[in-house]
Amino acid sequence: MKLVISVVSNQDADKVISALGAKGYYVTKIATKGQFLVDGNTSILSVCHDEEVPDIYDIIKNNVTKRTVKTPGVTSTIQGSLLNQAVDVEVNGASAFTINIEDLVKF
């Protein structure tokens, strides 16, 4: 068995969760914060059989969007003036990690 941890934008989280649920996958949603997707993000935990991992990846891939966001650039001084030019950065739609599960126990 595998645990797929996907970090997706808050804007895409409900769509991904609905799509996974429609295919019969159970998920756990965790609000997370970090630098993977700069703005708010959600971590989605999905347990599946080894052969189902590609299907979960496809569902995630088909339900997230890459975005271009403006982010503060490098702050520098030129002749005494402070410049802080915004830079366009492409943000991936999701990052996914897969971990082996030794045991799954339900109580």
| Residue-by-residue pLDDT tens, the chain, 107 positions | 999 999 998 889 999 999 999 999 999 999 887 665 456 789 999 999 999 999 999 999 999 988 777 776 666 666 655 556 777 777 778 999 999 999 989 89
Number of domains in the chain: 1
CA–CA gap between residue 32 and residue 21 (Å, rounded)? 21
Output the domain CATH number for residue 59: 3.30.70.120
Residue 48 lies in a domain: yes
Residue 106 lies in a domain: no
Indicate whether this model's pTM tops 0.85.
Answer: no
Residue 107 lies in a domain: no
Containing structural domain, residue 48: 2-100
Residue 105 lies in a domain: no
Cβ atoms within 10 Å of 98's Cβ, excluding its own: 15
Judged on CB neighbours under 10 Å (0-12, 13-18, 19+), 60 is buried
